[in-house]
Amino acid sequence: MTTYAQIDPELVEFPPCAGMTNLRDSGEGGLFVWLVVPEPENASYDCHVDTRVNMTLPDVCLTQQDLWVPYRFREMDARLEQDARTFLKEQGKEELAHWTGRVINSDEMSSDLLAAVFIGSTGSSIYDEGAGRYWEASYDDLTAAGQALYQGLKAAFGTEPKLLTFLDT
């Protein structure tokens, strides 16, 4: 029998979908929340930092954000992809060349992040009937530990973190 670790960091408090609220479970799979720190446009470093934290394009991000706008290096990525295909074909690796475009698709990657932390999930797809939209996590929905993490990331990177709520479809 395979067992899986239950990820329950208790960093975000999800509201109940029953009782005297306008909230209901829409039955679409659940919600999950990430705390991310976008890299500021004017970030500068003392060396060439050639690694990045990025998130793949989700099915449904409920939070209004701009992390998945077309990636700034899209043209350069297209050239690198073509160079990789040409090289693999020259090496007689046609099958690998075919998969090159499927491995890295910069349109499906977020802009650069300084940090990305999964902070919680629920099996309920919490829909707010009164507001006519899905519930989204806010700073006030974080537990004391979640708020400490938020403030710690803000202090560490000198920029405001973002809470992102996703619908698991």
> Does 88 share its domain with 163?
no
Residue 15's pLDDT band (cuts 50, 70, 90): very high
pLDDT at 72: 47
Q: Where are the beta strands (DSSP E) in 39-156?
A: 60-61, 113-122, 126-128, 133-134
- Contact yes or no for 13/138 (Cβ under 8 A): no
Is residue 150 included in any domain, yes or no? yes
> Does 64 share its domain with 130?
yes
In whole angstroms, what is the distance from residue 51 CA to residue 114 CA?
Answer: 10
pLDDT mean over 75-99: 68
In whole angstroms, what is the distance from residue 53 CA to residue 55 CA?
Answer: 7
Please tell me the total count of domains within the chain.
Answer: 2
> Does 152 share its domain with 124?
yes
- Of 26-40, 80-94, 141-155, which gets the smallest average pLDDT? 80-94
Model pLDDT for residues 117-148, shown as the tens digit of each residue = 999 999 999 999 888 999 999 999 999 999 99
Name the packing angle between helices 94-103 and 74-90 (round to 10°). Answer: 170
Is residue 62 included in any domain, yes or no? yes
